[in-house]
Structure 1
Amino acid sequence: MFSAPKSTSKGQSHRARTFDPEDSKRVKHTRIGVWDLYEEKQPIFGWDIPGTSTLEYYLEITRSLPYVWQMLKDMSSIQNCWIFATLYVIVGLALSVIPAASLWYSGQLLTIIQTAIDTRTVDKDFLVRISAGRTGCAVLGRLLGHAKASLAYPLSNRLKQHYTMHLFHARARLDLPTFEDPAVRRQIEEASHSSRGGVAWDTFSMMVTAVSTAINITSEVSMLVAVLKDQPDGTLLAVICLSQSFLNWFSEIKSAGQGHSVWAATTRNQDYVKMRGLMRVVSLPEHRKEFVAGNLAEYCNTVFREATQRVGYEAGDFPEVWRHWKGRRRLSFASIFKEPWKELPQIVFTLRSMQSPASIPASLASLNLIQTTASNFGFTVYAFAYQFGSIADQLATVRKLYDIVNIPNRIPDGTVPFPEDAQKAKAGIDVEFRNVSFRYPDSEIWALRNVSFKLIPGQLGVIVGANGSGKSTVLKLIMRLYDVEEGEILIDGRDIRTLKLGDLRQSVSVLFQDYTHFPLSIRDNIALGNPSHAANDDQVRLAAKLGGAEEFIERLPEGFDTYLERPVPDHYSALPEGTKTIFGNPVKYGGIRRAADMQSSTGHNLSGGQMQRLAVARTFMRSMVSEDSTVGLLLFDEPSASLDPTAEHGALLSTCACAVGSLSGFLAKDLFERLRQLRGDKTMLFSSHRFGSLTRHADLILYMNDSVIEEAGIHSELLARDGGYARTWKLQAQAFI
């Protein structure tokens, strides 16, 4: 398995510094084949000992301790969690003294051997008790290990479930600009990233393991001193064997070299980069159609062969090249010196045997005991040092886990309830932009510049213009997904920033061009259109009917219970080739099929128009199906972009019907008549790059270009001006002549 250089995680990761590969004073450059490896230069000794103590390291732990204490208090609130936690600690501590007890019994065997040599007699009862004791330690260790594993599962599951809810809440509360901030996303990922048990379980188990390991080391050292103090050369042999373990440890660290350093690797060999790109071209299915249609096989073969010849035998993925380079570095003074050092205990044993042949049996048993114990002890010490070196980072992760619920949102909530009169709001909401200018976060380009317009209750407004002109941005600002940079937006005469966000968004229904479908059932997708009220099945079906989606939903195998993207996939191993479906979904055969391969199914594929009808149905759930809906403003962003002309006509008819509340006979009426009926009811605002019948009957048309409103008025007025609107309308009209 590839073990690449790992980024530092013991104190260094929290230092405020940067890594610049071009800084030759702080960064070492090594050429490995076609790869350039850049490593941060290490201290004088050239290696980093896990667990190295620094003031910064302990300050990091100190800052995190209050959060760990909070975690422990939260554990007490989880059902039966402390029962499992207490038992887990007790079992872990009991396991930590088992090796010392076993070592004591082994030491008693040395006593029996020495007594047998000196007196030619053996205390059989004592030997039986010692043998029974050693066997008991082995059995007890196995039972305790099983008990620890059995306790770990329910305990980790309880912690994981609790903090899954914590993380869900932390993510759900973020507004759009905050969630889109890469720093916030990274903070959430760092707080979420852990093993399957979660951050809390990892921290708790690490703390228990660290304490248990410390007890294990202390008890074993004490017992080893007690056992060997009367053995000839016992102390000397113990020191030699233990030093051998530490020598192996340092040798491994040295050979790993950059294992705990900051590093980066890249390749500037254009031929190798081209080879890897061509390999993807011939391997990935998404390229196959154009590859075959373009007759690219012969050309790509030639280019690949020429690039391979120029690269020669230096080509290779970084993991394999790095492994080879790392193996060459293993030959060091420490690695050479440790080989003869392994033989030193045998030399000491031989010299002792030459001086006292009668002590050979006892010395041989003592040597075996020391070597076995030293080997286990060395591994335990190394594991403890590594764990101790990771504690600061693990505790810091706990701090991040709690900090994410306090991330401030960029869009502050207002304090004024809205609307004051729910019945009045249903008859339309007043919308006014006053000199609004806006730029998206981290962008220098104005999305809107000095935009002003007003829609009074019951009016139909249409924003037209090319893609990227700012149409969709207007709708996003009305929903207050972002706040304006300059100017102000008034809703029913009030500054939008003073209104409660929940009230505002409950009074507006919007269908964005880049609509989404949640990884839930179709029924839940539609029902989420009105999340503040429980939707019954009749309401969902009515919304689907009005959105033009009921017919194709009923044809799906599971109807409204169908998942378009099932969040929990089915898993299966290699299946007989004749198996085409399983659990109602098609079997996917991808890559090399092994028995252990776990493959999954996703769901049903719908056309773009069908997906958009579902989005329209979800919009209708809030705007018209719910009897206690307070929606007074309907926003549609390119509502017919994915529909064919017939479906577009039907969708617009449905849209009109939703605004007036009529549920029967609207499909038989002309679209234009339906639009005229909208006046005096809900306020509606469309954005579209298409100019058609809708604009001819709009109360207000905003023609946008390059983030500004160039023209505003009704259809006849804008045609008379013969400006940008008129020219674009005539060009689109000619396409249908």
Structure 2
Amino acid sequence: MPLPPSSLFTDVIHLASSVVRNLPGCPHDAPLKPPTSRERVKRDALEESPDLYAVWLASRRIAENGTEHLPPAAQRPFSFQNLALACTLSKRCAPELLSCLWDAHPFRISLMVTLDVVRGIFPAFRGYSQAVMIDELQRNMTSGNFTLSHVIHQGTMELVRMSVEAAIDNIATSNENIVHNSARFLVERRQLEQRLRLDVPTLSDPLVRDLLQESDTFVRSFNGFSAFGVFSPFDAMRLLTLVSEVLTHLWVLSSLTFGGTPLSIVFLSVAVTVLPSMLSWLTYGHDNWDCPNGQLGGQLAAKQEAMRGLAHSDAHRPEILLFDLGPWILKSWSRARKSLLGLERRHHGGDNNLSFCPLSRVYLNGMFSAFHNVPLLLVLSSSSTSVGTFTLYRSTLQSLLLTAEALLRTLRMAFQGVFLMGAFCAATALKPRLQPDAQKAIPYSPSGVGMAIDAQNLSFSYPGSRVPALHNITLTVEAGETLAIVGYNGSGKTTLANVLLRIYDFESGSLRVNGVDIQRLDPRDFHAHASAVFQGFSKFSTSVKGNVGIGFVPEMDSADAVSTAIELAGAADLVRSLPEGVRTRLDGDGLNRSCEACCGDGPASHTPHGLSGGEWQRIAISRAFMRARRPEVELLVFDEPTSSLDAHAQKHVFDTIEKISRSPDGDRTKTVIFITHRLATARRADKIAMMENGTIIEFGTHEQLLSRNGRYASLYHASV
């Protein structure tokens, strides 16, 4: 007696799920192996061939004038020129990208390709099986041997075929999900890594922002098949299924000629079937694809998006660069992302969810129904034609048409996806503008007595601005000296501080540090020897410990280091007054709304705690002191660090700066630069730079500037 259909189907699916979970290539308890050295090889190759960016840019040019560009991620028109560009990008990018994916899971990708070809045969095999079943029933009925047992036998055989097909499809889908998630992780990680390497001048270029936007679109296409109207190279492998299906349908139609159906009739059937759909396709716009992304774990999603937000934030970029937060952000994002994708630890039954996107299209088949019947009548006129052959003929024609349309639509999206893939590859090859050439770069050499700074005729303009923010800046600060920068609002003080900190690049002039051209120093190496409080310091929506600890990530988890920095900033009483002390979650600038998002302190038991401007300033100063007190730091920059503090707190902060900038013997070990509107505070400095309209109009000691009776003296007498 045959098995019940429901039981048979369930057993086969369960067996398929068990098989795919035990396949080699991605043990569910093993972390995803990191990207190989192939990434570095690819980057070196792209840097040796700088035309990759030019090829991508050429595809965005509007042909009419050649100077304007298409909006980011806009559809490229199909032309011979763009086809040539697409071929160039494919040859340059696809092999290396697919090789990276292959390195992650060679066995699973081989299985995926094989099963994609097999799945392409299923529709034709299904039609053939049904035709055989119909013919068998027809013969039994005409011979008079038709019994219930024959029906049960044929139904059981068909159910077995369906079960095997469903099992193979389940194996293919589960295996595909694992490879897909790994591919998503690889490209998202590479994108995030590249974002964190880029500096402010690079990100200020509008064309670079367009490039990164198209790169982001390409990366997001890995979220699901045909997302954003394009698909990734991973999804392009499904072309194998469509090609296999088309070829199989064509083989079935050609085989019908051996049953007495002339080949000309088959071609006529195909032609009259395709014609109305071609007319419909010509008048139909782009398909809308609306694939849901699925639910994400709340905490993992919050942490992932928080890290991604930090990597993409222009507001946080200076502190990310200065405090070298890139590796920490990348590590935190990677851990959350792998867990979210199920790559950190695979759970039973967690990789079998599928989302199908419904498609619809209006056809004009009704107008040609009569023409459809002509070939059918010719087929039926053959004495060898059976009902099964008739059924196979009709189903194969219909499937061939739908598959061919899907193949054409997929190829159209693949054409657009090539340019986004080119943007991704060009973006990964971007070199930060502040990064010196390898042959010219030299390491920073600590002096042990502070950083000597010599600027001559520096000029700087913000992108898109015709008026320079800085011009003809000349100043000299000896190692261990203290410089105060004063002036009216908008005079360029903060901009100068960012240039000296190597956040912005200067356009002309020279800037030497310890006698070395600063453009020969790796910014990351230079930043390791500096600390700062920015005027627009970041307010992270995380704990006090997290907000302070990012000043020096290696000691973020050290309670003593965090406590010492808070004490130095005079913020100890403030922290003790908070509901949970250093674990109190602060209500920051809204970018990161999860306490776990930034520093993984665990869930807070209280709602976010708000701070006043002066209280936040104490937290920012504590953050700077996490690194400032370290012996390798030789430059301290404070941009209005006490603007919201009272006179007593202000004195404490500057006394602390004076203390940590000296050795226990009293020798100067750090150079200090601070910006202030309080000229009484400026008197502490060894030198004072008075700025106006983007340049230094007076430079010297407090006494020297007063004796000149110039703008500084006028401003000083007005403020006291």
The two structures share one fold, judged by TM-score above 0.5: yes
* Structure 2 equivalent of residue 18 of structure 1: 62
Contact 1:100/1:223 (<8 A) preserved: yes
Closer, same or farther in 2 for the Cα pair 1:448/1:508, shift >3 Å?
same
* Structure 2 equivalent of residue 75 of structure 1: 101
How far is 1:726 from its partner? 2.9
Contact 1:253/1:259 (<8 A) preserved: no
1:94 maps to which of 111, 118, 124: 118
Percentage identity across aligned positions? 21
Closer, same or farther in 2 for the Cα pair 1:539/1:155, shift >3 Å?
same
Opposite residue 482 of structure 2, the aligned amino acid is L
Separation of aligned partners in 2, 1:643 and 1:175 = 32
Separation of aligned partners in 2, 1:41 and 1:653 = 60
Separation of aligned partners in 1, 2:522 and 2:367 = 77
Write out per-residue CA displacement over residues 143-195 of structure 1, whole angstroms, 9 at most, x where no aligned residue: 22222221122212222233333223212222221122222232223223246
SS at match of 1:709: strand
CA RMSD for the aligned pairs? Answer: 4.4
* Structure 2 equivalent of residue 342 of structure 1: 369
Contact 1:241/1:370 (<8 A) preserved: no
1:247 maps to which of 265, 276, 287: 276
Separation of aligned partners in 1, 2:177 and 2:692 = 60
* Structure 2 equivalent of residue 461 of structure 1: 483
How far is 1:210 from its partner? 0.4
Write out per-residue CA displacement over residues 6-38 of structure 1, whole angstroms, 9 at most, x where no aligned residue: xxxxx99963532889xxxxx9xxxxxxxxxxx
Write out per-residue CA displacement over residues 36-83 of structure 1, whole angstroms, 9 at most, x where no aligned residue: xxxx999xxxxx9xxx795742652354234322223323433xx122
Q: For structure 1, which segment, 490-499 or 117-126, has the greater mean C-alpha deviation from structure 2 after superposition?
A: 117-126
1:230 maps to which of 259, 266, 280: 259
* Structure 1 equivalent of residue 710 of structure 2: 723
* Structure 1 equivalent of residue 638 of structure 2: 636
Separation of aligned partners in 2, 1:66 and 1:99 = 36
SS at match of 2:641: coil
How far is 1:220 from its partner? 1.8
Closer, same or farther in 2 for the Cα pair 1:349/1:199, shift >3 Å?
closer
SS at match of 1:256: coil
* Structure 1 equivalent of residue 326 of structure 2: none
Matched, 1:379 2:379: no
Contact 1:509/1:623 (<8 A) preserved: yes
Closer, same or farther in 2 for the Cα pair 1:378/1:246, shift >3 Å?
farther
Separation of aligned partners in 2, 1:646 and 1:185 = 45
Closer, same or farther in 2 for the Cα pair 1:568/1:683, shift >3 Å?
closer
Write out per-residue CA displacement over residues 315-334 of structure 1, whole angstroms, 9 at most, x where no aligned residue: xxxxxxxxxxxx9xx9xxx9
Opposite residue 215 of structure 1, the aligned amino acid is S
Separation of aligned partners in 2, 1:212 and 1:707 = 64
Opposite residue 516 of structure 1, the aligned amino acid is S
Residue segments in structure 2 that go unaligned for 5+ positions in a row = 1-54, 226-230, 290-359, 597-602
How far is 1:115 from its partner? 4.2
Write out per-residue CA displacement over residues 198-246 of structure 1, whole angstroms, 9 at most, x where no aligned residue: 3899534433210111111111221234347637899858854773455
Closer, same or farther in 2 for the Cα pair 1:242/1:206, shift >3 Å?
farther
2:87 maps to which of 47, 58, 61: 61
For residues 57-206 of structure 1, what are the structure 2 equivalents within 5 Å? 57=83, 60-78=86-104, 81-112=105-136, 115=139, 131-194=155-218, 198=222, 203-206=232-235
Separation of aligned partners in 1, 2:552 and 2:427 = 28
Separation of aligned partners in 2, 1:514 and 1:706 = 21
Matched, 1:695 2:700: no
Opposite residue 610 of structure 1, the aligned amino acid is E
Contact 1:191/1:199 (<8 A) preserved: no
* Structure 2 equivalent of residue 213 of structure 1: 242
For residues 143-542 of structure 1, what are the structure 2 equivalents within 5 Å? 143-194=167-218, 198=222, 203-227=232-256, 230=259, 236=265, 239-240=268-269, 243-244=272-273, 246-256=275-285, 338-342=365-369, 344-345=371-372, 369-413=392-436, 415-421=441-447, 424-425=448-449, 428-517=450-539, 522-531=544-553, 536-542=558-564
* Structure 2 equivalent of residue 623 of structure 1: 628
How far is 1:543 from its partner? 0.8
Opposite residue 483 of structure 2, the aligned amino acid is G
How far is 1:692 from its partner? 3.2
Separation of aligned partners in 2, 1:694 and 1:119 = 111
Matched, 1:705 2:710: no
Q: For structure 1, which segment, 400-409 or 249-258, has the greater mean C-alpha deviation from structure 2 after superposition?
A: 249-258
Separation of aligned partners in 1, 2:502 and 2:57 = 37
Opposite residue 411 of structure 2, the aligned amino acid is F
SS at match of 2:551: coil
Closer, same or farther in 2 for the Cα pair 1:384/1:443, shift >3 Å?
same
Opposite residue 634 of structure 1, the aligned amino acid is L
Contact 1:543/1:618 (<8 A) preserved: yes
Contact 1:112/1:123 (<8 A) preserved: no
Opposite residue 224 of structure 1, the aligned amino acid is L
1:684 maps to which of 649, 652, 672: 672
Opposite residue 637 of structure 1, the aligned amino acid is D
Residue segments in structure 1 that go unaligned for 5+ positions in a row = 1-10, 22-26, 28-39, 43-47, 261-326, 572-581, 587-602, 663-676
Closer, same or farther in 2 for the Cα pair 1:233/1:343, shift >3 Å?
farther
Closer, same or farther in 2 for the Cα pair 1:100/1:129, shift >3 Å?
farther
Closer, same or farther in 2 for the Cα pair 1:211/1:698, shift >3 Å?
same
Separation of aligned partners in 1, 2:205 and 2:173 = 40
Opposite residue 479 of structure 1, the aligned amino acid is L
Largest Rg, 1 or 2: 1
Opposite residue 694 of structure 2, the aligned amino acid is S
Opposite residue 379 of structure 1, the aligned amino acid is L
Closer, same or farther in 2 for the Cα pair 1:691/1:205, shift >3 Å?
closer
Q: For structure 1, which segment, 716-725 or 141-150, has the greater mean C-alpha deviation from structure 2 after superposition?
A: 716-725
Closer, same or farther in 2 for the Cα pair 1:108/1:233, shift >3 Å?
farther
Contact 1:703/1:711 (<8 A) preserved: yes
Q: How many residues align?
A: 573
Closer, same or farther in 2 for the Cα pair 1:181/1:339, shift >3 Å?
same
Contact 1:228/1:235 (<8 A) preserved: no
Closer, same or farther in 2 for the Cα pair 1:139/1:250, shift >3 Å?
farther
* Structure 2 equivalent of residue 656 of structure 1: 658
SS at match of 1:77: helix
Q: For structure 1, which segment, 230-239 or 410-419, has the greater mean C-alpha deviation from structure 2 after superposition?
A: 230-239
Contact 2:482/2:672 (<8 A) preserved: yes
For residues 591-630 of structure 1, what are the structure 2 equivalents within 5 Å? 604-624=609-629, 626=630, 629-630=631-632
Opposite residue 712 of structure 1, the aligned amino acid is F
* TM, length-normalised to structure 1: 0.67
